[in-house]
């Protein structure tokens, strides 16, 4: 009796153990091994157009070749992209407030920073008007600009949105292009934006530290979304009362409302601004990398499921604690490595992929999602053949993986697939828990969404107050800082489990008989109908 029982027991325990093993193909170690290469100091922070990024891209291409992935760019794996770099010449630039005929100089860096995302005019002068969040969203009957005279004026706004606007829609309307569209129509000539203190990821001191670092735009005029925006300033919230003095309002009072996503008042301010900006421009070229893994179904192999991640970071900048290299280990060497691991694993294992997979490593993300914007507008495969994009940006395995944040979860049925895959692996899912931070439009999935392609981004989520603190501290101390480097604690098992889920998700979308669809009530479905912006 004993023997067979023992045998049955062993068999009983053996089967689930084996089944589980086949699910967990990643242990996080290969992932960390790649990160050690791409986030090393000799990659110099992988700034767009830099030799460091070229070296990092050569490494990725080498890995793709070795794994047997097909090149799917324009020049082999590469897709060249042209940029215009813009650098502020601060000593020839200035800003001042004019109150009752008296000029009050602003201290650049301390009070305000010029944003070079807009093509700044050499000189601008205009009265200021406070426009609340500065949002105009007709489908929700919401208009911060209604009844305001903005002709020839500069709009002052607090970033964020009122709570009645769903987070994805609010995020969409806060992109530089969408925001400017409404303000330009109203006649404004510029924007002063005050970061909402309730959702500032990076303290002002660190933002201002790198204000002279070149900013970039896509060189091709078809991508210019801020035409007519002559002035763009970010204003230090701690000094914002300089703008509100004499208006009958304080910044404190407005920030209290903005923190809780309450409606904000609108009113003309009693000051004007005078600004001079000198910008040095330069042509820069950098590349996206595209690789293909063909599917096996005679029909569906002509369609692609895209897995994307940005490979660029912010380069070498002002030193923090004596360190000048912004390594970008979590942002986003971590995502690049997931693509490499998943690509190699799916190539190696005989999974019967029906659709083809496209692995897209984009440049210029830190400059404003530029590489992906270019790729989505000029894809290297038939535009309609891309059925979905799963994007990975800074998924941060800082704690054990128990829950995933799925950005865009309610927008398409991809969200349902992600939930199913995660839950069947013992991981729960949640939608964006911090809509104020706008993460949905802050990474490359958004470029695909704008071209009608259903998309998701998945991040590891903290589940306890202690874990939440770890994530918040990471943003404050390491996000876009030299300390996002190889010398930080990560949870390798969480990274491995995350890679498993991404791999299963890719296979599931590739094998589904139907291509993913936008939900009928999703705002973003409109882009699918036109197929472009």
Stretch that binds Zn ion, among 267-275, 345-353, 377-385, 388-396 (CB under 5 A): 388-396
Asked if 500 touches Zn ion (CB under 5 A), the answer is: no
Q: Is the peptide bond before 64 cis (omega within 30 degrees of 0)?
A: no
Residue window 389-408: x/- pattern of binding to Zn ion, with contact defined by CB under 5 A = ----xx--------------
Q: Which residues of 375-407 are buried (b: 16+ CB within 10 A; e: fewer)?
A: bbbebbbeeeebbbbbbbbbbbbbbebbbbbbb
Q: Which is nearer to Zn ion, 310 or 347 (CB)?
A: 310
Strands 231-235 and 112-114: antiparallel
CB of 136 or CB of 332, closer to Zn ion: 332
Residues in the interface with Zn ion (CB under 5 A) total 4
Q: Cβ of residue 202: shortest distance to Zn ion, in angstroms?
A: 13
Residue nearer to Zn ion on the CB measure, 184 or 206: 206
Pick the closer one to Zn ion by CB: 137 or 369.
369
Q: How many CB atoms lie within 10 A of CB 206?
A: 17
Instruction: List Cβ neighbours of 7 (8 Å cut-off, separation of 6 or more).
Output: none
Distance CA(494)–CA(491), nearest Å, equals 5
When the beta carbons of 303 and 366 are compared against Zn ion, the nearer one is 366
Q: What angle do CA 32, 38, 42 make, to 5 degrees?
A: 130
Q: Taking the complex as a whole, how short is the minimal distance between the CB of residue 360 and Zn ion, in angstroms?
A: 14
Smallest gap from residue 403 Cβ to Zn ion (A)? 21
Least distance in angstroms from the C-beta of 338 to Zn ion? 13
| Least Cβ distance, residue 439 to Zn ion (angstroms) | 10
Q: Which of residues 470-489 bind Zn ion (CB under 5 A)?
A: none
Specify the DSSP element, H or E, that contains 256: helix 251-259
Q: How many CB atoms lie within 10 A of CB 23?
A: 13
Nearer to Zn ion, 180 or 326 (CB): 326
Q: Burial of 524 by CB count in 10 Å (0-12 exposed, 13-18 middle, 19+ buried)?
A: buried
In sequence order, the β-bridge partners of residue 137 are: 142
Smallest distance, Å, CB 330 to Zn ion? 8
Rounded Cα gap, residues 307 and 487, in angstroms: 27
Are the C-beta atoms of 287 and 80 separated by less than 8 Å?
A: yes
**Least CB distance from residue 460 to Zn ion, whole Å?**
15
Binding mask 338-377 for Zn ion (x = CB under 5 A): ----------------------------------------
Q: Which is nearer to Zn ion, 231 or 441 (CB)?
A: 441
* Cβ-based nearer residue to Zn ion, 162 or 328: 328
Q: How far is the CB of 444 from Zn ion (least distance, A)?
A: 8
Report the first-to-last Cα separation within the chain, whole angstroms: 72
**Considering beta carbons, is residue 332 or 447 the nearer one to Zn ion?**
332
Instruction: Please tell me whether residue 332 binds Zn ion under the rule CB under 5 A.
Output: yes
The span of 41-49, 68-76, 99-107, 324-332 binding Zn ion (CB under 5 A) equals: 324-332
Near Zn ion in 504-523, by CB under 5 A = none
Of the candidates 57, 287, 312, 331, which one interacts with Zn ion according to CB under 5 A?
331
CB of 514 to Zn ion, least distance (A): 31
Token pair for residue 274?
């005078």
Binding pattern for the stretch 427-456 against Zn ion, x by CB under 5 A and - elsewhere: ------------------------------
Vertex 221, ends 217 and 223: CA angle to 5°?
Answer: 60
Closer residue to Zn ion in complex, CB, 111/393: 393
DSSP for 156-181, written as a single string: EEES---TTS-HHHHHHHTSHHHHHH
Residue with Cβ nearer Zn ion (389 or 393): 393
Q: Shortest approach of Zn ion to residue 313 CB, angstroms?
A: 8
* Pairing between β-strand 323-325 and β-strand 112-114 as defined by DSSP bridges: unpaired
> Among residues 236 and 332, whose Cβ is nearest to Zn ion?
332
Q: Is 10 exposed, middle or buried (0-12, 13-18, 19+ CB in 10 A)?
A: exposed
Residue (119 or 331) nearer to Zn ion, CB: 331
Residues 75-104 that bind Zn ion (CB under 5 A): none
DSSP readout, 344-390? HHHHHS----SSEEEEEEES-STTTSHHHHHHHHS-SS-GGGEEEEE
Contact region with Zn ion (CB under 5 A), list: 113-121, 132-140, 167-175, 327-335: 327-335
| Stretch of 172-180, 283-291, 355-363, 385-393 contacting Zn ion, by CB under 5 A | 385-393
CB of 285 to Zn ion, least distance (A): 21
161: which 2 tokens?
Answer: 């949105």
Token reading at 168? 């994805």
Record the tokens describing residue 44, joined without a space: 């110099």
Interacting residues with Zn ion between 140 and 159 (CB under 5 A) = none
Which span sits near Zn ion by CB under 5 A: 92-100, 180-188, 325-333, 475-483?
325-333
CB of 397 to Zn ion, least distance (A): 15
Pick the piece of the chain touching Zn ion (CB under 5 A) from 55-63, 122-130, 230-238, 387-395: 387-395
CB of 332 to Zn ion, least distance (A): 4
Q: What is the dihedral of CA 419, 363, 77, 68, to 10 degrees?
A: -40
Closest CA to 142 of 25, 12, 266: 266
**Could you give the CA distance from residue 378 to residue 148 in angstroms, rounded to a whole number?**
39
> Which CB atom, from 331 or from 512, has the smaller least distance to Zn ion?
331
What is the smallest separation between the CB atom of 305 and Zn ion, expressed in angstroms?
A: 21
Interaction site with Zn ion (CB under 5 A)? 331-332, 393-394
């Amino acid at each position: 009796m004993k023997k067979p029982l023992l045998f049955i027991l062993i068999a009983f325990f053996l089967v689930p153990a084996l089944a589980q093993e086949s699910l967990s193909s990643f242990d996080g170690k290969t992932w960390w091994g790649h990160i050690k290469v791409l986030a090393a100091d000799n990659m110099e922070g992988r700034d767009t157009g830099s030799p460091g990024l070229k070296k990092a891209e050569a490494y990725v291409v080498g890995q793709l070749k070795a794994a047997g992935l097909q090149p799917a760019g324009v020049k082999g794996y590469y897709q060249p992209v042209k940029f215009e770099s813009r650098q502020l010449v601060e000593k020839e630039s200035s800003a001042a407030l004019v109150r009752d005929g008296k000029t009050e100089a602003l201290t650049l860096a301390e009070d305000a920073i010029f944003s070079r995302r807009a093509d700044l005019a050499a000189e601008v002068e205009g009265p200021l008007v406070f426009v609340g969040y500065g949002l105009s969203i007709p489908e929700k009957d919401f208009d911060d600009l209604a009844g305001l005279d903005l002709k020839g004026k500069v709009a002052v706004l607090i970033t964020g949105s009122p709570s009645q606007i769903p987070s994805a829609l609010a995020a969409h309307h806060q992109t530089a292009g969408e925001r400017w569209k409404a303000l330009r129509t109203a006649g404004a000539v510029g924007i002063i934006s005050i970061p909402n203190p309730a959702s500032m990821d990076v303290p002002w001191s660190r933002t201002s530290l790198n204000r002279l670092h070149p900013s970039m735009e896509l060189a091709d005029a078809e991508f210019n979304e801020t035409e007519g925006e002559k002035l763009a300033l970010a204003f230090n919230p701690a000094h914002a009362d300089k703008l509100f003095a004499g208006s009958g309002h304080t910044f404190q009072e407005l920030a209290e409302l903005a923190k809780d996503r309450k409606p904000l008042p609108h009113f003309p301010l009693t000051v004007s601004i005078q600004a001079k900006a000198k910008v040095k421009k330069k042509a820069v070229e950098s590349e996206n990398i595209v690789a293909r893994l063909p599917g096996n179904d005679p029909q569906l192999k002509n369609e692609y499921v895209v897995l994307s991640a940005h490979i660029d970071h912010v380069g070498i900048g002002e030193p923090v604690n004596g360190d000048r290299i912004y390594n970008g280990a979590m942002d986003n060497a971590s995502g690049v490595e997931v693509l490499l691991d998943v690509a190699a694993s799916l190539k190696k294992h005989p999974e019967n992929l029906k659709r083809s997979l496209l692995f897209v490593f984009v440049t210029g993300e830190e400059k404003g999602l530029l590489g992906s914007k270019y790729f989505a507008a000029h894809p290297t495969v038939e535009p309609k053949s891309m059925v979905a994009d799963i994007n990975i940006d800074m998924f941060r395995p800082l704690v054990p993986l128990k829950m995933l944040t799925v950005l865009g979860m309610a927008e398409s049925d991809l969200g349902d697939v992600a939930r199913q895959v995660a839950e069947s692996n013992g991981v729960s899912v949640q939608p964006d828990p911090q809509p104020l931070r706008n993460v949905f439009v802050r990474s490359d999935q958004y470029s695909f969404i704008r071209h009608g392609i259903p998309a998701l981004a998945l991040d590891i989520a903290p589940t306890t107050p202690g874990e939440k603190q770890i994530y918040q501290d990471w943003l404050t101390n390491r996000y876009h800082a030299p300390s996002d480097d190889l010398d930080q604690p990560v949870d390798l098992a969480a990274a491995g489990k995350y890679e498993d889920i991404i791999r299963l998700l890719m296979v599931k979308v590739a094998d589904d008989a139907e291509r993913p669809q936008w939900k009928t009530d999703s705002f973003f479905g409109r882009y699918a109908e036109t197929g472009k912006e």
